[in-house]
Amino acid sequence: MTKIVGRESSPSNKISWTPSDGSLPMKHSQSGNRMAGTIALIIGSGWVYLFWNNIYESLVARQIFPDFLMMLFIALPGIFVILYGLSQYVYFEETTISRNDVFWRRRGLSGSRQWKEPISNYKGVLKEHIYQHGGAGQSRSGYTVYLIRLVHEHSGKDVLLYMSESSVSVTPSDWDRKWRQYAELFQLPVLEKVENGVSSSDVSDLDKPLIDKIRSGKLKVEHVNPLETKLGLMAKLERDDDLWIVTCYPVWNIWRSLAGLIIISLALSIIHAYKLISPQLFRYFLLFIPVCMIAIGFSIRKHITHPEQLALDKKSIYYRYRNKRNEWVTDDMPLRSIFSISVKSNPMHFRSAGDLVIEGKNRDIRFGWWLPRKTKLRLKNLLLSIIADISA
């Protein structure tokens, strides 16, 4: 059977720790690439050798300018390549994490550096992901890099604990588990990037019900009056008996299409004014624009008449949306099964905009990436405030 390349969903940690990952003390060392250094030394030496006779003759003849300087300038690339080759033989970097300290040292052509920092000075263990676009001419398409860092106030003292890559929309199976294990190992908070900064919490609180964290005071909630709140663009709050209903209109992509159509129309008008396009071709474009406007109008009507809705009562949260088969689907999640509500990016999607994420015991509800950032944050605060009032 032929192996399908690039479909691995659970790649291992590319940062190797000895004697074992997750057992203190743990050490990671990295040396220069001696193969690349050898090739660089051969190429650089050959380059300098080609021009050495000319440099030597200009020195003997005392023709410092312009011959010597010109030949030296030509030979400089070879000298830099030689220095790079030597650096690969000299370079060495090592990070050692013990029960109480982080010790780091590096050796290179420019000299040696080292520092030692107590574990207690670190803010916590941060989990993050970065999407890398596959550039033109590259053999590899876009992929996601999953990282776990030991974060310090000064970024120069951050320690990369975990790195994994995946070209499919599935997070590594050990990414979340390692994040928790490192935090427990170092007795530090877990950190996660969210829309308005970085969230921090104890590992033991990750799987506690949101209601319990609010009641115990571990999660501070800003009180919001639902009757006076204004969610902003593309979202509306309503009351129906014991239900609070938020209606979201996912028309962001449509407005972008409409804006693009207006820009194209203006550009064509300018081009026609300067007679850079034939009148007949310009008329064809004018006939095409109303067709696009009608299509956009139908799309807006569809989204307005079939909006996504989020509802909340004293027991559960309900999320209603239309699936790809154009069927209504309703997900519900009991309030006691909810661990957190936040706005953060989705590692399984390359877009930079964050989702409104309701994390539960067995599954999550993600929606609203098209909403403006302020609307998503207001909606998050509104949901937390209503749940806090319910749990009081």
Q: What is the pLDDT of residue 227?
A: 83
**Is residue 15 situated within a structural domain?**
no
Question: Is residue 218 included in any domain, yes or no?
Answer: no
| Same domain, residue pair 40 and 85 | yes
pLDDT for the residue 8: 45
Q: 240 and 264: one domain?
A: no
10-residue averages of pLDDT along the chain (392 residues)? 41 85 91 92 84 62 57 77 91 94 93 94 93 60 86 94 82 89 94 86 90 90 87 86 86 66 79 78 76 70 74 91 80 92 80 81 84 88 92 77
Which residues span the domain enclosing 296?
Answer: 252-305
Domain co-membership, 149 together with 292: no
Q: What is the pLDDT of residue 140?
A: 56
Residues 198 and 271 in one domain: no
- Is 105 among the domain residues? no
Residue 99, in any domain of the structure: no
Tell me the pTM. Answer: 0.75
Query: Same domain, yes or no, for 126 and 192?
Result: yes
Model pLDDT, residue 9: 45
Whether 230 maps to a domain, the answer reads no
Residue 2: predicted pLDDT: 37
The pLDDT assigned to 382 comes to 93
Residues 379 and 257 in one domain: no
User: Is 258 a member of any domain?
Assistant: yes
Residue with structure tokens 């159509």? Answer: 261
Q: Are 288 and 275 members of one domain?
A: yes
Question: How much is the pLDDT for 277?
Answer: 76
286 and 345 assigned to the same domain: no
Q: Rounded distance, CA 75 to CA 54, Å?
A: 10
Domains contained in the chain, number: 4
Does residue 95 lie in a domain region?
Answer: no
pLDDT for the residue numbered 300: 64
**What is the model's pLDDT at position 5?**
42
282 and 316 together in one domain = no
**In this structure, are 295 and 332 located in the same domain?**
no
CATH code of the domain in which 373 resides: 2.30.29
In this structure, the answer to whether residues 239 and 342 fall within a common structural domain is yes
Residues 296 and 311 in one domain: no
- Quick check: is 159 in a domain? yes
